[in-house]
Amino acid sequence: MNAPLLSIDNVSVRYKLPGGGSLTAVNEVSLDVADSSVVGLVGESGCGKSTLARAVCGLEATSGGSIKFKGHEVRKLGMRRRPEELMRIQMVFQNPYASLNPRRTVGSQIADGLRANPQQTSWSVAGLLEEVELPSDVQQRFPHQFSGGQRQRIAIARAIASGPELLIGDEPIASLDASLQARVATLMRRLALEAGASLLFISHDLAVVRIIADEVAVMNKGVIVEHGTSQQVWEQPQEAYTKRLLAAIPAVDGLGTLPGEAAS
C-alpha cells in the first residue's frame, strides 16, 4: 500500500496568549492527501484551517502529532534555507495584494519559482503566464499594474513554476469577485493535476470546493467534524455543523429565498 503524499497525524497547534492561558487553534487533526488528488478543507474563520496549512508548509510549529511529506518530517522553518525535500510543498495565499513583491517585475518573481524547480524543465516565464491565462508579454510589468484576479494568477504561476508535488491554496479565491472564484479554483485544480501534483484547497466556500475537490474535510473550532467525498458531504451531510454550513449558502435562484439562520 502506498503511503500518502501528505500525512497529518494527530496534529495540534497551540499558542500562548499574552496574559496567560493558551489557544488551541488545531486540536489533534488527522488528514491524508494522496498522490494526484484534490482535497478541500472547509470551515469558517477561526476554525484553524489556515493554521493547519501554515503548519504543513513549516511556517508554524506544531505542539503535538506529526506531519509527514513523502516520509519526511515537516518542521518549522528556521534561519536556513528550506530543506530540499520539503521544497516540493508550495502555497498560494489569500491576499493577492500582498503576495507579490511590489518592487520587482512579475517576470522575475515567476522566475524565482523556475529557479527552485529541481528538474530543468522547458518551462518559461512566458509559457507559465499563458498557462494562467495572462498575456505572455507582461513580464516586465510591476504588480500594481494588475488587478487582484490577475495577481492571484501570477502567484499561481510562481508556485507552479517550482514544480511542486503538493500545492496548498490558503483561501486563494476569497478576495476575488464571485464571477472569478470558480474559474481560478478550476485553474488551480487543472494546473496542479497536470503537473502531477496534489492540491490542498482551503476555503470557506463549500460551493466552489465541491466542484474541484475529490474529497472534503469540514473543520470547526480546530477539529475536523466531517470527512468524505465531495458528493457525500454536499448531498448527505452527517454532522449538524456541516448541515448548517450548507443551509447558509445563498441560492442563486431568483426567488428571494433567504439562506438558513446562523446559530448564535
Partner 1 sequence: MTDILTQQTKRKRRISLPPAFRTPLAITGAALVLFWLLVMAFAPLIAPADPLAQAFERLQPPSAEHLFGTDQVGRDVLSRVIYGSRISLPLSIGLVLASMIVGGTLGAIAGYFGKAVDEIIMRLADLVFAFPTIILAMVITAALGPNLTNAVIAMLIVSWPAYARVTRSLVVSARQQEYVVAGRLLGAGAFTSLRRDVLPNVLSPVFVLAMLDVGTAILLLSGLSFLGLGAVPPTPDWGAMVAGGVEQFSSWWIAAFPGLAIFTVVMAFNFIGDSLRDSLDPHTQDAVQGRAM
Partner 2 sequence: MVDTQNRADRQGLSVRGLTVSIHGKPIIRGIDLDLVPGKITGLAGESGSGKSMTGLAMLGLLPDGSKTGGEILFDGRNLLECDEREYGKLRGARIAMVFQDPTASLHPMLTIGRQLTDHLRVHTGMSKRDAMAKALETLERVKVPDPATALKKYPHQFSGGQLQRVAIAVAIICEPEILIADEPTTALDVTVQAGVLRLLQQLCDELGIAVVLITHDLGVMSSLAERISVMRGGEIVEEGPRYEVLRRPQHTYTRSLVEALPNHEPFLEGAVESAESRPEVGS
CA distance 11 to 71: 16
Which residues make Cβ contacts (< 8 Å) with residue 56, sequence separation at least 6? 6, 8, 67, 69, 74, 89, 166, 168, 200
16 touches partner 1 by CB under 8 A = no
- Beta strands 38-42 and 198-203, pairing class: parallel
The answer to whether the beta carbons of residues 215 and 41 sit under 8 Å apart is no
Positions 124 through 153 that interact with partner 2 (CB under 8 A) = 147-149
Q: Which helix (H) or strand (E) holds 56?
A: helix 49-57
The answer to whether the beta carbons of residues 166 and 200 sit under 8 Å apart is yes
Which position among 59, 61, 98, 211 is part of the footprint of partner 2 (CB under 8 A)?
211
Q: Any idea which residue has 502531477 for its cell?
A: 196
Binding range to partner 1, per CB under 8 A, among 15-23, 80-88, 186-194, 213-221: 80-88
Which position among 34, 77, 182, 195 is part of the footprint of partner 2 (CB under 8 A)?
182
Task: Return the one option of partner 1, partner 2, none that residue 80 interacts with (CB less than 5 to 8 A, by type).
Answer: partner 1
Report how many residues bind partner 1 under the rule CB under 8 A.
42
Binding site for partner 1 (CB under 8 A): 57, 59, 77-82, 87, 89-91, 93-95, 97-103, 109, 112-113, 115-116, 133, 138, 142, 144-150, 155, 158, 162, 179-180
Binding site for partner 2 (CB under 8 A): 44-45, 147-149, 177-183, 204-205, 207-208, 210-211, 244-245, 247-264
